[in-house]
């Protein structure tokens, strides 16, 4: 077993609390929201009622899905973190630790797609670091850090969900996981699920931005009053994101798993690779904690802009615990930080699936 409890993906909450959290350098009073498990962004007071939000995320470089798709994920996954503030990112830094086998032509294509995406989203690239590393064979090619500034009182963070808040999920589960699996292993998906499922799963790839979801939510609900918190869906899927949000906010929750939205293409691809879509990385979906009574107004506004949204449960007082309903059966739920997508991806790779 490795030092990281034989885990792939994010570290567990216990590792975070035992090793990272107690060792965060000098304390500064202007840090309003610092490191915390389940919190997407840090917030730093700038004075005069302004604040800066900062977030970092890994970059993606998967040769089998191509440079354009890899650039899309590299930009959008960090943008999704920033979107949880209810605002759009303005600046970005990129650290590129590229494999030594990457050609100059491929790097040019990758970077030009990153440039175009950032330009479209209004993000200025302000610097970073670029290099190639011998033996770097990971699909993670470095990291991005994004920044935005805005009114301090309007900035939302994922640790402010309140007991009684309704849990709203946008789009559906496991969009990222099943889209990448379909794109990387097309023959396996076509043979096991059919061409139509394969096509739909691949099309889901470009539904993995949740920026519009967040900005629309703040158009119709007052930040930190009617819209308490937001969290994007990465490792651990919908249930992992809800659990992280509850831990960060000091809440419990009750979620009906029958209400968690899973489309037919996602369901079929998940079946072929033997993964639970409720627990798989699903960027593009956003978890929103909404004041009870305001959820339908939010859902109507999102639906009017062609974004599906579903009420799946409620945040509760911490003494009520974290629980899920499966049919008529309720049980406690603990997120261990594991995401079955990673194992499925590398299992398929090692088996030589096409």
Are 128 and 173 in a shared domain? no
Name the maximum alpha-carbon separation found in the chain. 60
Are 215 and 331 in a shared domain? yes
Question: pLDDT at residue 138 above 90?
Answer: no
What is the tally of structural domains in the chain?
2
Ranges assigned E (strand) in 233-318: 252-256, 286-290, 309-316
5 in any annotated domain:
no
pLDDT-derived band at 310 (thresholds 50, 70, 90) equals very high
Nearest to 308 by CA among 176, 169, 177, 211: 169
Q: Report the percentage of the chain scoring pLDDT > 70.
A: 97
* Domain boundary residue, one of 154, 185, 204: 154
81 in any annotated domain:
yes
Q: Token pair for residue 15?
A: 């590792």
What average pLDDT does range 186-215 have in this prediction?
Answer: 96
Are 267 and 300 in a shared domain? yes
Are 198 and 329 in a shared domain? yes
The CA distance from 208 to 76, in Å, is 7
> What's the CATH number where 243 sits?
3.90.650.10
pLDDT-derived band at 2 (thresholds 50, 70, 90) equals very low
Are 37 and 150 in a shared domain? yes
Q: How many H helices and E strands in the chain?
A: 11, 13
pTM score, two decimals?
A: 0.93
Question: pLDDT at residue 269 above 90?
Answer: yes
pLDDT-derived band at 5 (thresholds 50, 70, 90) equals low
The CA distance from 237 to 285, in Å, is 9
What's the burial of 15, exposed, middle or buried (CB within 10 Å: 0-12/13-18/19+)? Answer: middle
**Per-residue model confidence (pLDDT) at position 9:** 64
What average pLDDT does range 113-139 have in this prediction?
Answer: 94
Q: Round the average pLDDT of the chain to a whole number and report it.
A: 94
Each residue of 287-296: b (16+ CB within 10 Å) or e? bbbbbeebbe
Nearest to 243 by CA among 341, 309, 321, 156: 321
**Per-residue model confidence (pLDDT) at position 306:** 97
What average pLDDT does range 249-261 have in this prediction?
Answer: 97
What average pLDDT does range 75-83 have in this prediction?
Answer: 97
**Per-residue model confidence (pLDDT) at position 13:** 76
* Domain boundary residue, one of 92, 123, 154: 154
| Whether 339 contacts 281, CB under 8 Å | yes
Query: Over the stretch 318-351, which tens digit does the pLDDT of each residue have?
Result: 999 999 999 888 899 998 878 999 899 989 989 9
Range of the domain at 215: 166-350
Are 269 and 145 in a shared domain? no
234 in any annotated domain:
yes
What average pLDDT does range 40-66 have in this prediction?
Answer: 95
Are 227 and 331 in a shared domain? yes
Question: pLDDT at residue 289 above 80?
Answer: yes
Are 30 and 114 in a shared domain? yes
| Alpha-helical regions (H) of 95-194 | 104-121, 175-184, 186-193
**Per-residue model confidence (pLDDT) at position 64:** 87
> What's the CATH number where 31 sits?
3.30.1330.10
Are 238 and 104 in a shared domain? no
Q: Which residues contact 22 (CB under 8 A, 6 or more apart)?
A: none
Least confident of 10-14, 24-28, 301-305, 348-352: 10-14
Question: pLDDT at residue 1 above 50?
Answer: no
């Amino acid at each position: 077993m490795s030092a990281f409890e034989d885990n792939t993906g994010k570290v567990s909450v216990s590792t975070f609390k035992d090793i990272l959290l107690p060792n965060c350098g000098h304390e500064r009073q202007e840090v309003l929201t610092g490191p915390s498990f389940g919190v997407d962004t840090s917030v730093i007071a700038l004075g005069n009622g302004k604040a800066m939000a900062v977030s970092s995320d890994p970059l993606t470089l998967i040769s089998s899905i191509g440079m354009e798709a890899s650039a899309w994920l590299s930009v959008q996954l960090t943008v999704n973190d920033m979107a949880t503030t209810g605002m759009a990112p303005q600046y970005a830094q990129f650290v590129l630790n590229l494999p030594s086998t990457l050609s100059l032509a491929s790097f040019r294509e990758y970077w030009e797609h990153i440039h175009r995406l950032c330009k479209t989203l209004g993000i200025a690239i302000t610097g970073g670091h670029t290099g190639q590393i011998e033996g770097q064979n990971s699909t993670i090619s470095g990291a991005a850090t994004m920044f935005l500034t805005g009114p301090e009182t309007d900035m939302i963070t994922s640790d402010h969900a309140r007991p009684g808040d309704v849990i709203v999920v946008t789009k559906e589960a496991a969009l990222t996981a099943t889209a990448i699996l379909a794109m990387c292993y097309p023959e396996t998906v076509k043979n096991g699920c059919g061409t139509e499922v394969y096509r739909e799963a691949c099309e889901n790839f470009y539904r993995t931005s949740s920026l519009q979801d967040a900005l629309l939510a703040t158009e119709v609900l007052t930040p930190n009053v009617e819209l308490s918190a937001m969290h994007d869906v990465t490792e651990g899927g919908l249930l992992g994101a809800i659990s992280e949000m509850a831990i960060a906010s000091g809440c419990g929750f009750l979620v009906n798993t029958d209400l968690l939205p899973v489309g037919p293409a996602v369901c079929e691809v998940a079946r072929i690779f033997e993964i639970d879509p409720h627990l798989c990385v699903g960027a593009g979906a956003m978890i929103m904690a909404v004041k009870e009574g305001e959820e339908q107004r939010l859902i109507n506004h999102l639906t009017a802009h062609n974004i599906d949204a579903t009420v799946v449960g409620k945040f509760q007082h911490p003494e009520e615990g974290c629980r899920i309903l499966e049919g008529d059966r309720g049980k406690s739920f603990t997120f261990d930080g594991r995401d079955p997508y990673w194992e499925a991806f590398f299992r398929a790779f090692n088996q030589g699936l096409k």
